[in-house]
Structure 1
Amino acid sequence: MHYNKIALYLFFLSLLAAFYINVEIDPRWQEQQYIYQTYVNQNDELVYKLNQKEISVGPVVDYRDSPLRQTALASKGKPALDQQWVKMPDKRLLLLKPSFHYGFWSLLPAFIAISLCLLTKEPITALLGGTIVGAIVLGRYDITDKVLLPSISSDGAATIVLLYLWLLGGLMGVWSKTGAAQAFADYMTTHFVRGPRSAKLVTWLLGVIFFQGGTISTVLVGTTVKPMADKAKVSHEEMSYIVDSTASPIASVLAFNAWPAYIQSLIFVPGVAFLATEPDRIHFFFSSIPFSFYGIIAVLGTLLLCFNITWHCGRRIQQARLRALHTGKLDADGSKPLDGKELHKPDVPAHYTPKVYEFVLPLVILIGIAITTFIITGSPKVNWAFATALCLSCVIALVKGMSLDELISGIGNGFKSVVVASVLLILAITVGGINKEIGGALYLIELIGQQLPFWTLPVILQLLTMIIAFSTGTSWGTYAIAFPLAMPLAWAIGSTQGIAHPEIYMAICFAAVLNGSVYGDQCSPISDTTILSAMTTGCDLMDHVKSQLVPASIAALCAGILWTLSAFFLA
């Protein structure tokens, strides 16, 4: 109760501060440059590709005439345009977009959301509090119509509702109603899992195999292993940490996924030959993988946990392991698991006999479609995969004699089990969008725009991207802000200080941004992967956040030391 009062006072103070910012503080506008590969299509139109779609370039003006260049923004303030294509003096085409920030005040919504979450252990009210504060800073007092409705109707929120509420919830509900998940857990326990150690090792291996990263890996692994791990009496804190720490960290190391194609568009630096073309930048991404120290250490750290080596895991995970081992309790007293009680005990009709293939076949189809569509299109069609798996599970259940009413009842229970997590994800998208619009990330990056010893830059970039990603709950959003600013800064510092091996130095700085963002996203209570890791493994969200903070921070500390030494001795 004491912490709830503190949270209430803090929220009211933040509301006053938000009104003050909106009325008294003028935003500082900044030019943002975006580089895309432009080409002439079959219709003789100059276009570029974004998210696999062709978009027309439109009118192009000379850079010196653009109202979105930095000198114009500094003198005139808010521009009338939201973007404009320009031709630079060296003939390159760039897309300019204006952004702004309020100095350190830009960090207020993220600070409030995270502080309330830690104080109250209630993430929905915390995220809503951060959303309200951010909306007031932007002067959007009609929060329902001007903030929440646009966010709920966005493509990102629609994806959340379709995939994580309908498809994932429905699939989990069917598996619970048919007893398929429990049958699989029983089979794995009998043939492969001999106890908590082997259950954790199977989870780690699946996390490595599903190296697409982010929400895809989290959902696939968490959904697959939960019944097996519960059967083996593995604590939910351990499981959520293993699932979360083999999602984005492994994707930054085994980068045969969508990451290089997305990130390469953000790291062009004028005059740098090894970043000149798209193939050059993708090659640079893969050449930097040996410097992805955080991803490597995080994945190896979870492997140690699988063998019950916990010296690096902190007190919370150690206590959780012992609690599950000696008492059989998978959650701490007073915890509030995200997965819902509807799926804790299978409600299989008396006339129905569960079979292992009811779990395995839909899962194989799900993974097969995800991998096949990735190979063919370059992006896994996760919605197709989950929809097909759900339909197949329903058909099998009906063919085996389950009535339609019983099947719909199971699907309904599945929906109920993920409603809270879906609301959390939508609110996380909302507050993340507000944080980006207010410019907290821009402000943090601006702080390092000064002369620094070259060997200190990687760890500074790591720390700043950790803070940005932790505050916004997104690694990819952090990349979009940090890379276009960090890479030119790294090149400028390296050039002025006469570094012998600039490509190695740039790779080290690149890896620091890449991995620092992964750490911040992984540990943030407002991150979609953090929420999904807790949801799919049945863990309390704040128990997951607090328990994984120590091992993740140890991995980040080791990575920071290695980046500093690498920059000093190898660059």
Structure 2
Amino acid sequence: MEGTIYSLLPPLIMLVLVLATRQVLISLGAGILVGAFMLNDYEFLASINQIWTTFYTIFYSDGAVQWGSLYLLSFLLLLGITTAFMTASGGSRAFGEWAIGRIRTRKGAQMMPAILGIIIFIDDYFNSLAIGQVARPLTDRYKVSRAKLAYLIDSTSAPITVISPISSWGAFIIGTLGSIITAQGLTEIGELEAFIKMIPLNFYVFAAIFLVFLTILTKFDIGSMKRHEIRAEQTGELLTKGKEVPGDLDSEFTDHNNGKVLQLIVPIAVLLVATVSAMVITGIQGSEGEVTILSIFASTNVNKSLFFGGLFAVISGLILYLPQPSPKSSSGKVIFEGMKSMLPAIYILLLAWMIGSVIEALGTGTFLAEQVEAANIQASYLPVLIFLVAGIMAFATGTSWGTFGIMLPIAGEIAVNTDVQMFLPALAAVLAGSVFGDHCSPISDTSILSSTGAGSNHIDHVMTQLPYAFIGALASGLGYLLFALTTSTILSLAATLAVVLVIVLMGRPKSRITS
């Protein structure tokens, strides 16, 4: 079963169940169960043991505690507590009242998270979670659905991070490029230069970001997003009733009636400063040889940094909450409810990690990569093929980074052996396809955290984002086809954006509430 077409079964089963039931935990569980049985020749006890092993290795593996997983899960709990203190203190409500006097339109409220998504490019996890906490009070006031907020966050966080050299993603990619360039003997180009030259060739990133702003400006709400937005505008219901939502604290306690804007701004500012500072410190500690900005971000411990950022944010939120006069909820209740609010996100993330391990053991990514190597196609069409395969791989495995690790070396080797002029376009297509697949996958950690930051039901977010991801992918695919015919980066990128614009103008809903 391993490394064959049958390795696609678990992610396909998971996808079908997600679409049919909209129950992400059941769907993930089914995918894990099928994958475990396939790995163990359908022996019951061995398969159950495989599932247990997959679970506990998240926390303990190879004789060592897996601190990265513990740090990230702890950060989610700390973020829930921080959010609870900002809510209980009345800081979120005060910020909404302050912002509504300055941002006077619904479009402006949506522009805020989109623009912040472009500005905050340090790390996709931090981007996804922090922006939601800042923007949610404002978008709630203007009756923007939580699914729409999750889309705005998700479709700016990964795209901007993957083209920023000063980011955790950028540093990882640059480091990977260095080893590929050395292995292929391409002495005429450096890894940073290669990364910079690849940026305009990453068509999907620009299509996705462009589509976010067009969607805001033209109210391009399509598919299930349209239903969410109309319901939010007409009834004020920002969430689908009866669905589990991470970070939802609205019914747990009444926010304080004398809250201040600082009770939201200060914890967020502390979170930002403490996380970035910790990233720099851990990056310096992890750097070997000369310490540079790139070496810092290549060596930084993101999850550990998030943990300490979250810890300091909780402390600041508690300090601001304690002096408030009664009546108010006890600090213990606020902490408990904050932690409880993050449990749905943690359950999904744990199962996503488990199915990712099962899919890796089955060799799903390796199988797809081998299909690219075996394909006998004209060199100029290599980027478009790699874009599609990387998209499928990232969707099936739920990881951009895993797809980078598998596909970048393969794409580089194929390009060098066929036409070295396709080296950078092929590598850029890997990045583009990986982000596209990540946007579509219900087991993508970035999408899970975007749902969490926005306070949206996860499957609602995945289903509402899909049409936009497909539009970006269609435009990008056409862009890569044009590149195969012309080898012009500028023309192909312009054509990609033009396709997005035409689709939006032709498909924009005609009947919508104005606001």
User: Does TM, scored on the shorter chain, surpass 0.5?
Assistant: yes
The whole-number CA distance in structure 2 between the counterparts of 1:475 and 1:344 is 36
Aligned partner of residue 255 in structure 2, secondary structure: coil
User: What is the CA distance between 1:345 and its match in structure 2?
Assistant: 6.5
Structure 2 partner of 1:369: 274
- Aligned CA distance change for structure 1 residues 344 and 563 (closer, same or farther; 3 Å): farther
Structure 2 partner of 1:412: 336
Larger Rg: 1
The reply to whether residue 482 of structure 1 matches residue 407 of structure 2 is: yes
Note if contact 1:236-1:331 (Cα within 8 Å) is conserved in structure 2.
yes
Structure 1 partner of 2:22: 121
Overall identity of the aligned pairs, in %: 27
Note if contact 1:343-1:414 (Cα within 8 Å) is conserved in structure 2.
no
User: Gaps (5+ residues) in structure 1?
Assistant: 1-20, 22-100, 496-501
The whole-number CA distance in structure 2 between the counterparts of 1:124 and 1:276 is 49
Structure 1 partner of 2:233: 325
User: What is the CA distance between 1:253 and its match in structure 2?
Assistant: 2.8
The whole-number CA distance in structure 1 between the counterparts of 2:106 and 2:186 is 47
1:161-195 deviation line (CA, Å, top 9, x unaligned): 2111x2111111111221211211221112x2213
Aligned partner of residue 115 in structure 1, secondary structure: helix
- Aligned CA distance change for structure 1 residues 358 and 555 (closer, same or farther; 3 Å): same
Aligned partner of residue 342 in structure 1, secondary structure: coil
The whole-number CA distance in structure 2 between the counterparts of 1:389 and 1:305 is 33
Structure 2 partner of 1:174: 85
- Give the 5 Å matches for 1:8-407: 21=1, 101-139=2-40, 140-141=46-47, 142-143=49-50, 145-153=52-60, 154-164=66-76, 166-190=77-101, 192-267=102-177, 268-269=180-181, 272-274=184-186, 280-310=190-220, 313-332=221-240, 334=241, 336-339=243-246, 341-343=248-250, 346-348=253-255, 353-375=258-280, 377=283, 378=296, 379=300, 381-401=305-325, 406-407=330-331
The whole-number CA distance in structure 1 between the counterparts of 2:183 and 2:405 is 21
User: What is the CA distance between 1:275 and its match in structure 2?
Assistant: 6.1
Note if contact 1:274-1:281 (Cα within 8 Å) is conserved in structure 2.
no
Note if contact 1:193-1:232 (Cα within 8 Å) is conserved in structure 2.
no
Find the partner of 1:546 among 463, 474, 477: 463
Q: CA RMSD in A?
A: 2.3
User: What is the CA distance between 1:274 and its match in structure 2?
Assistant: 4.2
Q: Whose relative contact order is higher, 1 or 2, with alpha carbons under 8 Å and at least 6 apart?
A: 2
The whole-number CA distance in structure 1 between the counterparts of 2:447 and 2:152 is 11
Letter of the 1:127 partner, please give it.
L
Note if contact 1:508-1:566 (Cα within 8 Å) is conserved in structure 2.
no
How many residue pairs are counted as aligned between the two chains? 455
User: What is the CA distance between 1:276 and its match in structure 2?
Assistant: 7.6
User: What is the CA distance between 1:144 and its match in structure 2?
Assistant: 5.2
Letter of the 2:109 partner, please give it.
A
Note if contact 1:213-1:250 (Cα within 8 Å) is conserved in structure 2.
no
The whole-number CA distance in structure 1 between the counterparts of 2:419 and 2:318 is 59
The whole-number CA distance in structure 2 between the counterparts of 1:517 and 1:335 is 33
The whole-number CA distance in structure 2 between the counterparts of 1:440 and 1:144 is 18
The whole-number CA distance in structure 2 between the counterparts of 1:172 and 1:317 is 26
Aligned partner of residue 249 in structure 2, secondary structure: helix
Letter of the 1:147 partner, please give it.
T
Aligned partner of residue 239 in structure 2, secondary structure: coil
User: What is the CA distance between 1:218 and its match in structure 2?
Assistant: 0.3
- Aligned CA distance change for structure 1 residues 210 and 340 (closer, same or farther; 3 Å): closer
1:232-268 deviation line (CA, Å, top 9, x unaligned): 1111221111011011011123332122321234341
- Give the 5 Å matches for 1:427-438: 427-438=351-362
After superposing the two structures, state which structure 1 stretch, 139-148 or 355-364, moved more.
139-148
Note if contact 1:301-1:551 (Cα within 8 Å) is conserved in structure 2.
yes
- Aligned CA distance change for structure 1 residues 263 and 411 (closer, same or farther; 3 Å): same
- Aligned CA distance change for structure 1 residues 484 and 309 (closer, same or farther; 3 Å): same
Aligned partner of residue 165 in structure 2, secondary structure: coil
The reply to whether residue 521 of structure 1 matches residue 459 of structure 2 is: no
Letter of the 1:419 partner, please give it.
L
User: What is the CA distance between 1:335 and its match in structure 2?
Assistant: 5.7
- Aligned CA distance change for structure 1 residues 386 and 403 (closer, same or farther; 3 Å): farther
Aligned partner of residue 121 in structure 2, secondary structure: coil
Note if contact 1:468-1:520 (Cα within 8 Å) is conserved in structure 2.
yes
- Aligned CA distance change for structure 1 residues 127 and 163 (closer, same or farther; 3 Å): same
The whole-number CA distance in structure 1 between the counterparts of 2:136 and 2:308 is 23
Letter of the 1:132 partner, please give it.
L
After superposing the two structures, state which structure 1 stretch, 130-139 or 298-307, moved more.
130-139
Structure 1 partner of 2:386: 461
Aligned partner of residue 399 in structure 1, secondary structure: coil
Q: Provide the TM-score with structure 2 as the length reference.
A: 0.83
- Aligned CA distance change for structure 1 residues 451 and 245 (closer, same or farther; 3 Å): same
Letter of the 2:91 partner, please give it.
A
Structure 2 partner of 1:47: none
Note if contact 1:127-1:428 (Cα within 8 Å) is conserved in structure 2.
yes
The whole-number CA distance in structure 1 between the counterparts of 2:237 and 2:252 is 15
The whole-number CA distance in structure 2 between the counterparts of 1:417 and 1:508 is 43
After superposing the two structures, state which structure 1 stretch, 449-458 or 467-476, moved more.
449-458
The whole-number CA distance in structure 2 between the counterparts of 1:179 and 1:275 is 58
User: Gaps (5+ residues) in structure 2?
Assistant: 41-45, 61-65, 284-295, 489-515
User: What is the CA distance between 1:527 and its match in structure 2?
Assistant: 1.0
Structure 2 partner of 1:557: 474
1:261-306 deviation line (CA, Å, top 9, x unaligned): 21234341456454688xx112211121111111111111111122
Letter of the 1:370 partner, please give it.
T
Letter of the 2:334 partner, please give it.
G
- Give the 5 Å matches for 1:505-520: 505-520=422-437
Which has the larger helix fraction?
A: 2
Which has the larger strand fraction?
A: 1
User: What is the CA distance between 1:474 and its match in structure 2?
Assistant: 0.8
1:18-54 deviation line (CA, Å, top 9, x unaligned): xxx4xxxxxxxxxxxxxxxxxxxxxxxxxxxxxxxxx
- Aligned CA distance change for structure 1 residues 213 and 566 (closer, same or farther; 3 Å): farther
User: What is the CA distance between 1:341 and its match in structure 2?
Assistant: 4.5
